[in-house]
Chain A
């Protein structure tokens, strides 16, 4: 399918722009990965998601 980018590729590109935020989130989880509870890293995730939404929005 030439000319059409799959949604997953857009997603991957936008997520790649937020590797710093992703790393902070990943560190938060891996610091306590044997005892993860819901919304344990909600703050870090929201930062990551905001960055992702910004990156994804700019492209469109």
Chain B
């Protein structure tokens, strides 16, 4: 309270000094009640109360309902399986054995399924193809998910016998009930985009990793579903005269880098790729999203859903603005899923570190040739 007051006073002092500078340059001294303090950058502290955007309960209901229809739920796993496979490909570069792995937000254990498949053409020095699945390098994988019916959906599938899978239902999607320094690898595929307090979750993940252990994740971000977002906005603007929340706010690539470094991860790698899926119409896209359990769960969404008028209008707009002519002559509606992949390492052990500031010995001017010399 006292500190907040001090900051407020300092701010006012600065404002006043701007105002009075032109007219009467009087010396302004801070009041004696405020001790001189080192000024810092404004950052949001992890775990501080933050705005709640998504309803955890609604998401739980969506996932439970979606997984109740098992054949349909498996049919729409194409996106999660593809992203899980791409995430696992990034693991091929880390030549290690992982005795204990956490899959945070596992959905239907898609990552474990991707581990079990033979790894793609990978040539070692002798030129032979290595087709051993990544699962062979993994001791035990702990899959956590809030929705039990989604988590246990594929419990009896063949991939379960390939490795030791422990399934655990989380009571709270934003709380990891694990001991510090207990995992050799943490993965998360297609679930971080429903987390309200991402800084806190990432910090918890960092805590439960062992020192010098990696965290790999894939989440929907940026321009995901921009076609649907745009069409619905235009349709609502024309039909209702205002727009509502239908597509979640998503983190962008540059946000992810900040979030990871704020959570204490080192040696960050962040990249994106787009998966474009063609749908026959907007209704197929929306029912697939629903069957994935990825329907809108924003707290401030319209309770009644989208009206038929808006849906009909959005279909016409989507088809006209984004529709592409398919090979069979019909119009297909492309939907972009932009996935942000992130890799971060917990500091400790032999993690390479950046050198101290000012310890560089080579002059950059010599290296760069002095073309753009400043000063």
Contacts and interface: CB of A to CB of B under 8 A. Distances in A.
- A and B from one complex: yes
Main secondary structure of the interface of A (DSSP, over half): helix
A9 B316 CA distance: 16
Interface residues of A, number: 28
Interface string B310-340: 0111011111110000000001000000000
Of B234, B239, B241, B311, the most chain A CB neighbours within 10 A belong to B234
Interface in B223-275: 234-235, 237-241
B281 A39 contact: no
B319 A19 contact: yes
A40 B190 CA distance: 38
A40 B235 CA distance: 10
Given A8-B283, A15-B281, A48 B312 contact: yes
Nearest to B290: A8
B156 interface: no
B320 A30 contact: yes
Contact of A30 (B241, B281, B317): B317
Contacts of B313: 25, 29, 45, 48
- Contact residues on B (Cβ < 8 Å of other chain), bracket: 20 to 34
Interface in B292-320: 308-309, 311-313, 315-320
A24 to B, nearest CB: 8
A7 to B, nearest CB: 9
Of A26, A27, A40, A42, the most chain B CB neighbours within 10 A belong to A26
Contacts, number: 78
A11 B237 CA distance: 22
B283 A45 contact: no
A36 B238 CA distance: 6
Given A36-B237, A37-B241, A39-B238, A49 B321 contact: no
Given A23-B320, A29-B317, A48-B316, A38 B240 contact: yes
B284 A12 contact: yes
B238 A29 contact: yes
Contact of A45 (B239, B286, B318, B321): B239
Contacts of B283: 8-9, 11-12, 15
Given A12-B281, A15-B312, A26 B319 contact: yes
Given A8-B287, A11-B283, A49 B238 contact: no
Interface in B56-85: none
Given A8-B283, A15-B283, A16-B281, A25 B316 contact: yes
A30 B331 CA distance: 17
B290 to A, nearest CB: 9
A22 B238 contact: no
Contacts of A42: 238
Of B286, B320, B331, the most chain A CB neighbours within 10 A belong to B320
A48 B319 CA distance: 14
B238 to A, nearest CB: 5
Given A12-B281, A15-B281, A29 B241 contact: no
Contact of A22 (B234, B239, B284, B316): B316
Given A22-B320, A23-B319, A42-B238, 5 more contacts: A12-B281, A21-B316, A36-B238, A45-B239, A48-B316
21 contacts: A8-B283, A8-B286, A11-B283, A11-B311, A15-B312, A19-B319, A23-B316, A23-B320, A25-B317, A26-B316, A26-B317, A26-B319, A27-B320, A29-B320, A30-B320, A30-B321, A36-B238, A41-B238, A42-B238, A49-B309, A49-B312
Which A-B residue pairs are the 8 nearest by beta carbons?
A26-B320, A38-B241, A22-B316, A12-B283, A26-B316, A36-B237, A25-B316, A30-B321
Interface of A: 6, 8-9, 11-12, 15-16, 19, 21-23, 25-27, 29-30, 33, 36-42, 45, 48-49, 52
